[in-house]
Amino acid sequence: MLFYSINEILLLAAAAIVIDWVVGDPNWLTHPVIRMGRLITRLERSLRPPGAELKPAQLKRRGVVLTLTTVLVSSCLTYAACMLAAWIHPWLGYAVSAWLISTTLAVKGLKDAAMLVYRPLAAGDLALARIHVGYIVSRDTSALGEKEAARAAIETVAENTVDAFLSPLVFALLGGAPIAMLYRAANTLDSMVGYRNERYAQFGWASARFDDVLNYIPARLCGLLLAAAAWVRPGLSAGRAIRAVRTFAHRHPSPNSGIPESAVAGALGIELGGENVYFGVVSERARLGWPLRPLEAEDIVRTVTLLYAVSLFCLAGVLAAWLWVS
């Protein structure tokens, strides 16, 4: 647990969840993920200079260097910041650790981003909704219809219930802010270089696989938590969420993302996945869930509700564990 006890780690994690709920990512603060992104960009330029002709094996090895360097630098700098703050004063150490953990979570950020899509859709402003969808997905958004724009927002919230909440929380519980930041660095790497295209298939291989490994257990836990959230939410189906995970999750190209997306689709009684366009190329994404009714903009709000329910369950679980070990 580094320099904190189990009790302290549990309280720091609980505080981080609340900080994220209330504060989120203030625009006036430089977010650690932005720094990670800049580090990754600089390392990529050094490891694969423009114009360099590298063989696939070389690209893979340099991708491993990129992955290890990024996660180690991010984790070590976080450790140093926490140690320095604790050396100045124990309570400052707690505050810095809790804040740094909260920056690896993004419940409020996900809700805010999803609602920026929902509000114009609800008002009939599809053009504005497309613009906001473009901020959260890499697919082409210029020709999205209302249903496709809503689907993109729902899939983003569902997938990131793991990536932007449950996984960093799990790693925070394993080792505080430095380990949570290690996970966030791995996930940022995956979002920047973990693509199966010509540019990154080899260079981003290590980043993508490392992210898959780290998310493996949290993703499966998330499927259960989303089903539990559906059980307490009127009009949604916990049983259908579980059946959808069993039936559809393996069809998703990611070994992890299909679980929360299938759970949400099953709980809501809608179908996710389908035709997406990336850089002008049409891609057929696995269809998840049963289309018991047409997907609508209100499903964005329902998915955000599931996200908050999962985070509430986790907060309650962390506090219960703290009471147990205290």
* The dihedral sign for the CA sequence 102, 103, 109, 111: negative
Q: Considering Cα of 273, then 275, then 280, then 281, what sign does the dihedral take?
A: positive
Check residue 181 and give its pLDDT: 97
| pLDDT (mean) for 302-313 | 98
Nearest to 63 by CA among 47, 41, 49, 51: 47
Q: How confident is the model at residue 319 (pLDDT cuts 50, 70, 90)?
A: very high
For residue 119, give the nearest of 131, 108, 107, 102 by alpha carbon.
131
Per-residue pLDDT band at 279 (split at 50, 70, 90): low
Under 8 Å between Cβ of 236 and 230: yes
**DSSP-assigned beta bridge partners for residue 288:** 272
pLDDT over threshold 70, residue 61: yes
Angle at 40 between CA 137 and CA 253, to 5 degrees: 40
Residue 1 binned pLDDT confidence (cut-offs 50, 70, 90): very low
Instruction: Express each pLDDT in 202-246 by its tens digit.
Output: 999 999 999 999 999 999 999 999 999 999 999 999 999 999 999
Angle of helix 107-122 versus helix 146-161 axis, rounded to 10: 170
pLDDT tens digits along 2-31: 578 999 999 999 999 999 999 987 765 678
Query: Average pLDDT, stretch 64-70?
Result: 97
Q: What is the pLDDT of residue 250?
A: 96
Q: How many CA atoms lie within 13 A of 271 on its CB side?
A: 11
Quote the pTM value: 0.95
Which one has a higher pLDDT value, 162 or 281?
162
Is residue 240 a contact partner of residue 204, using CB atoms and an 8 Å limit?
Answer: no
**CA pair distance 99, 20, nearest whole angstrom:** 9
Residues 206/60, Cβ–Cβ less than 8 Å: yes
pLDDT of residue 73: 97
pLDDT mean over 314-323: 97
126-134 vs 107-122: helix axis angle to the nearest 10?
Answer: 160
pLDDT tens string 89-148: 999 999 999 999 999 999 999 999 999 999 999 999 999 999 999 999 888 888 899 999
| Domain assignments of the chain as residue spans, ordered by start | 6-325
Average pLDDT of the residues of the chain: 94
278: left (phi over 0), alpha (psi -120 to 50) or beta: beta
Residue 28: per-residue pLDDT = 59
R_g (Cα) of the chain, nearest Å = 20
Asked whether 45 and 26 are in contact (CB, 8 A), the reply is: no
The label of the residue with tokens 């260079």 reads: 203
Residue (of 252, 235, 326, 234) closest to 289 by Cα position: 252
